[in-house]
Every structure is written in C-alpha cells, then in structure tokens.
Amino acid sequence: MENNDLLLQVTAKAKTWLSDKYDADTRKEVQALLDKEDKTELIEAFYKDLEFGTGGLRGIMGVGTNRVNIYTIGGATQGLSNYLLKEFSALKQIKVVIGHDCRNNSRKYAEISAEILSANGIKAYLFEDLRPTPEVSYAIRKLGAQSGIMITASHNPKVYNGYKAYWDDGAQVTPPHDKNIIAEVNRVNVENIKFKGNKDLIEVLKKDMDDAYIADLKTLMLSPESVKRHGGIGIVYTPLHGTGLTIIPKAMKACGFTNIINVPEQDVLSGEFPTVVSPNPEDPAAMAMALKKGEETNAELVFATDPDADRFGAAIRNDKGEFILLNGNQTMLVLIYYIITRKKELGQLTGKEYTVRTIVTSALVQTVSEKNGVEMFECYTGFKWIASVMRDLEGKRKYIGGGEESYGFLAEDFVRDKDSVSAAILFGEIAAWAKDNGKTLYEMLQDIYVEYGFSKEKGISVVKEGRTGAEEIEAMMKNFRENPIKQIAGSKVTLIKDFVTLKANDLELNEEYTLEMPTTSNVLQYMTEDKTKVSIRPSGTEPKIKFYIEVHSKLKSRAEFDAVDAAADKKIEQVCKDLGI
C-alpha cells in the first residue's frame, strides 16, 4: 500500500474516534495526533488492530486501534463475553477470574473487564489487588470458572500493557477458541461494549485464594527434610517491582526457607519500573541490584521474577565463589533433572510420567528425561502449547514438569501456565538437596553435563519497531526460507524444518516428511551434522525476530568445564556471523 493511501485510510479510521461514542480525553488525544505535522504516531496508532499472539493481546498504551486502551480492552472483553455466552449457553452461571499486574492502568483495565463481564450476565471474580499470573490460572481451576483474564504485558517495557485470555482448564486460549474469540472481537463496535456493570455479579478474591495456592504448592516438595536441615541458606529475591512480592516470600517461608533477603528498592510496586530499563530476569542488567545484594549479604542464591511473576531467573555461585546467571535452558535442566532423580529415588516413577519442552528449548532436557524412562513431548513456543499437551493427556498420564528457554517452568498440574512461585520453591529445595549430597548447585550442573552431554544455548533478539519493522522481519523470514543456509559454523546443514509448511527436509537422506503439529507456526529450524541447532521465529508478542542457537559437545569431567564452555562460546560467535546477526 502506498504511503499516501495508508495515510488516508488511517486518517479516516482515526476520525471515527472523534465521535461522542468515545470519552472526551480520548477524543482530545486523537485530535492532537491528527493535528501533528509528523504523522508517524498517528499511523502507528491506527494502521492495524491489535491481535492475539502467542501471549494474547499486547501493545503500547495509548489511543488508537493498535494501542492498549479502555476501548481495545473493552472490545476484547465484550468479544470474549459474546463467545462465552455461545460456548457455555447451557450453564446457569458463567464464571471468569480476573487478575492484574503492577503496570500503569492495569487495575483500571481489570475493573473495566469485570464491569463488562458482569454487564453481560457473567460472574466476575476480581482479585483484590495485583497477583501473579499463575495464581489466576490456579483460581480458574479452583473455582471451576469457564475463562480468565490477566491484565499484563509480562516483561515488556513500561509503555506496554496487555491482556491474556484463559480457558476453563486454566490455560491460555488455543485454537479454535483463540481464533473464534478474535472473530467475535472483530464484530464488536464501540457502541456494543457494555461498560455499565452489575455489582452483584462481581466478587472480590482475597487472601483465602493465596493460602489455598500456597498449601497446594507445598505438596510439590520432594525433599522437605533437606529444607529442614538447610532452610537458612541465604536467598536474595527481587520481584522487579511486580506481583511476585505478594506471594513468593510468603510461599517460600511457608515451605521452610527462613533467610529470604529482599532488595528494598525493587520491592516498590510500580509500573514505572524505576530501577530497571527492562523488568525481565532474562536481562542481566535487571538482576544487577539483586546480585549486588547477594554479594553484600553473602547469599548463596539470587532469584528474580518478571512483573506478572510467571518467569523465573536464578543466579548461583561458581567454583570461584562468583555469581553466574543461569539461562532458561539451564534452569529447566536443573529442575527436570532434580524432579526425575528425586521421584526415582522415592519410587514415584510408574512409567506413566511425562515432561514437555518447546521446539526452541534445549534438546538436553529431552536426553535427561528419556534416559530415565520418562517420555518428553515437544510443542510450539508459548506455554499454552505445553498446557495443550497436558489437556490431551489429562487422566491418562502424569505430568511432572515442563518449560521453555524463556525462563518459564511449570512443576505442577494444578496450574496451567508457567509458574515462578513453584520454580522458586523447588530451586531453593534443590540447593538444600545438593548440600545433603555434598555438592554445590554449580557442581550439580556440571555433573549433569558430564553424565548427559554438554550443551550451550544463546538467544538473540533483533528488534524491529513499528510497521516498517514488521515488514523487515517478514522479509528476513522470506530470505531464510528462499535461500536456505548450507553450512553453520563449519558443519553441514542436514535437516531443515519449516513449521509454516509443516515439512521437514532431510538433506542427508534426500527425503521430505511431514511434521506432526496441531497447527502451523512461523518457525524455521536448521540442524547440522554436529548437532548444532538454529531456530528462527518472529515474536508473537513483541516487535522482534528471535534466533535460538544451541551447540553441543562432550564434557568428560568437571575439570574440563571452563575449556569446553569457552569453546562453545567461540562456536556460537561463528554461528552468529554465519547468520549475519
């Protein structure tokens, strides 16, 4: 579309927001955008409608169809209401749980969602204050609700907010429900949104739900006796200004950890995230204050969670006593190894247990699972797909853990989204158990590599903002498909998987086969002779194209670790050069 045509289309769209269907403040802001000589902001705000991605609705706050505001949130909730009324028409009372994080406007959007649901005759359970995403998932299942809403933009910068929609199993919506909800949302006009609620249908959820959630989390513990012996280990915890503060210190204390050390500056609940540029435990800069506190207090562990407390990051001390940050793959590796090892020791493995990983998560967790007789299933990126596997196997097999490289892990089946609360409890427990076995966590990680093989992973995100950025990302994906890479870091590419076509091309056997997946996804994977794996995908929730690099080698002993690790770094450097990133 020519720029001129686009501007005409956007201007016409924006002018519809000047009618009295919209409030005075909104009209004023839209008029200001129309009056500006530079039309970039106007175009960005109106050139498209926000859509559900892998994590729901997410975008920059502001006026416009491509922004998060009371009307896009309202339209999403009205569309969800319309769909629920059709899907559950036989029920006397449809129920929906609503939670929110610490972000600017999150409480307002949560209350508006409750009003709209109640205006449609749907009972809304609204948490009294901010709460973690996994607790919303827990409450949906606990209350027998048909759906849930979490107002959050997860780990995104402060200008963002978002809306995660959940189904009756406590998981984020998957096909066909996500597409059907979108269709309903697209049919909603602003005059159809029922903003005036029914107070009788809004119930506030209080601390009783927290207590029930914590009581169930305690049942996950596999080494309570180790925690009794070593519950005083120093653990620094930062919620990065978010919801984890409301539950994690309390939950850990309930499980026997007596030395939880706070980072007071980051205990300030604020959507401005005053101490960090990005409130993401994946970002080393976000962990800096907590690491400093760890050094000052001689703590053994440092934990961090993102604003809605579904992502969990950890730092442990190496053999020199220095803190090192674990990546998401390493965290998952330690957790999966521990759960399987302990369940084996306790005689709790019956042969029906299974684990789950996403297609961009390290294959090493699969090796650990399968060598211990536990089947591991593979699914798309996004925790809703892990939950989808759990839904399919409900009542047939026993889920014992699953996760993804992006700092998400779920140990329990009574929640259906990644859960930093259970991850924090278990990680503390693992440190205590390792002590009982005469090891540090660092030594335990090295021993896993010695036994199962060494891998190193690196994730790289290339940010491309706005409309032109989206076009650039599309062009990059097209180029990787049309001009496939033949060699990566000196190793021949032997397998290419394209999840858009659901075709895999085995270049060694010169054979093509179909990938068994529930739907298509814009992901491309290259595998080489030496087991190097590169996955490429545009983010579903952010203006980024993501590259996931995984290299493998052998580690014969702990003594070789530094050399093997350094060689892996060099190899990853070469992979990046070959990819042009």
pLDDT in tens, 144-161: 999 999 999 999 899 999
161 and 103 in contact (C-beta within 8 Å)? yes
Residue 565: its pLDDT value, please?
A: 97
CA distance 48 to 30: 15
- Whether 223 sits among the annotated catalytic residues: the reply is no
- Mean pLDDT for 227-246 is 98
Lowest mean pLDDT among 72-81, 237-246, 537-546: 537-546
Q: What is the mean pLDDT of residues 450-476?
A: 91
Give the pLDDT confidence score for residue 373 in this predicted structure: 97
In this predicted structure, what is the pLDDT of residue 235? 98
pLDDT band (50, 70, 90) for residue 53? low
Strand partners, 148: 97, 166
Share of the chain above pLDDT 90, in %: 91
Higher pLDDT, 197 or 466: 197
Tell me the pLDDT band of 55, cut-offs 50, 70 and 90: low
Give the tens place of pLDDT for each residue, 261-280: 999 999 999 999 999 999 99
Confidence tier at 194 by pLDDT (50, 70, 90): very high
- Say what the pLDDT of residue 123 is: 98
Average pLDDT, the chain: 95
* Residue type at position 18: L
Rounded distance, CA 418 to CA 383, Å? 7
pLDDT in tens, 4-17: 889 999 999 999 99
Distances 539 to 213, 295, 382, 520 between C-alpha atoms, Å: 31, 35, 10, 15
Confidence of residue 2 (pLDDT cuts 50, 70, 90): low
Say whether pLDDT at 224 is over 50.
yes
pLDDT at 1: 43
Q: Which residues pair with 409 in a beta bridge?
A: 403
- Please tell me the distance from the alpha carbon of residue 55 to that of residue 131, in angstroms, as a whole number: 18
Nearest by Cα to 86 from 94, 98, 96: 94
Among the ranges given (229-243, 285-299, 416-430, 473-487), the one the predictor scored with the smallest mean pLDDT = 473-487
Q: What is the pLDDT of residue 332?
A: 98
Q: Give percent above pLDDT 70 in the chain.
A: 99
In which band, very low, low, confident or very high, does the pLDDT at 468 lie, cut at 50, 70 and 90?
A: confident
**Spatial distance between the Cα atoms of 188 and 295, rounded to a whole number of angstroms:** 54
Q: Which pLDDT value is given to residue 324?
A: 98
Which strands make up the sheet holding 301-305, listed edge to edge?
260-262, 235-238, 301-305, 312-317, 323-325
Gap between the Cα atoms of 501 and 481, Å rounded: 11
pLDDT computed for residue 382 by the predictor: 87
Burial label for 474, CB within 10 Å (0-12, 13-18, 19+), is middle
Q: What is Dmax (Cα atoms) for the chain?
A: 72
**Stated pTM of the model:** 0.94
- Domains detected in the chain: 48-205 (3.40.120.10), 216-452 (3.40.120.10), 455-579 (3.30.310)
In 182-296 the beta strands, taken as DSSP E runs, fall at 202-205, 235-238, 260-262
Average pLDDT over residues 140-145: 98
DSSP code at position 373: T
The DSSP bridge partners found for residue 379 are 358
Q: What does the pLDDT look like over 389-420, one tens digit per residue?
A: 999 999 999 999 999 999 999 999 999 999 99
Averaged pLDDT, 58-77: 95
Query: Where are the strands (E) in 418-472, listed by range?
Result: 454-463
**If we measure between CA atoms, which residue out of 103, 105, 95 comes closest to residue 205?**
95
Closest Cα to residue 461, out of 406, 501, 500? 406
Residue 543 pLDDT level (bands cut at 50, 70, 90): confident
Catalytic one of 118, 137, 154, 406: 154
